[in-house]
Amino acid sequence: MFMFRRTPSKGRQFVALLGFFAITYIVAAIGAVGSMNAPEFYNDLQLPAFAPPAWLFGPVWTVLYGMMAFAAFLVWRKASWRDGDTALTLYLIQLALNGLWSWLFFAWFSGMWAFLEILLLWVLIVLTTIAFWRHSRTASLLMLPYLAWVTFAAVLTFSIWRLNPVVL
């Protein structure tokens, strides 16, 4: 016997959408607290030629967090927590690691740990994207700019760490 999952009501979908945005931006805020000194610290570092200006990170992350939250919502809407538990659990784990990176780099000044952590984050984003694909192609595609940015951020983290061994 097949069980068909009913689409959640509009009200429930709205609450879930708000919930995914809330949890995603709360983690972003926690990361932001850890990077309160980021603009000054970043500008004081020796940077590689490909490093973007400090002002660019806020807008890029704001857009990426919104895309991530919407992607998680699409998975939930299609699969619910029960059927999408692996995908949504991976999402939450990678989200927590995302928030931790700012603390490692900007608050605790640990270039090595920030680099190792971002490599783990990258793996979890790939796993999350694959898990999202099983439930929603759109959700998976929404994760690709985030994966690209974290790939760039990993290279940048490594480069800055190596250029600033005394500070990081």
Per the structure, the count of domains in the chain is: 1
Contact yes or no for 156/117 (Cβ under 8 A): no
- Spatial neighbors of 152 by CB under 8 A, at least 6 apart, are none
Q: Residue 137: inside a domain, yes or no?
A: yes
Q: Residue 58: inside a domain, yes or no?
A: yes
Q: Residue 3: inside a domain, yes or no?
A: no
Name the strand (E) or helix (H) holding 164: none
Q: Residue 109: inside a domain, yes or no?
A: yes
Rounded CA-CA distance 118/134 in Å is 25
At residue 2, does pLDDT exceed 70?
A: no
pTM over 0.85: yes
What is the pLDDT at residue 81?
A: 75
**Average pLDDT value for residue range 88-106:** 98
Q: Residue 22: inside a domain, yes or no?
A: yes
Q: Which domain CATH number covers 111?
A: 1.20.1260.100
Domain that holds residue 158: 15-33+54-163
Q: Residue 126: inside a domain, yes or no?
A: yes
Q: Residue 67: inside a domain, yes or no?
A: yes
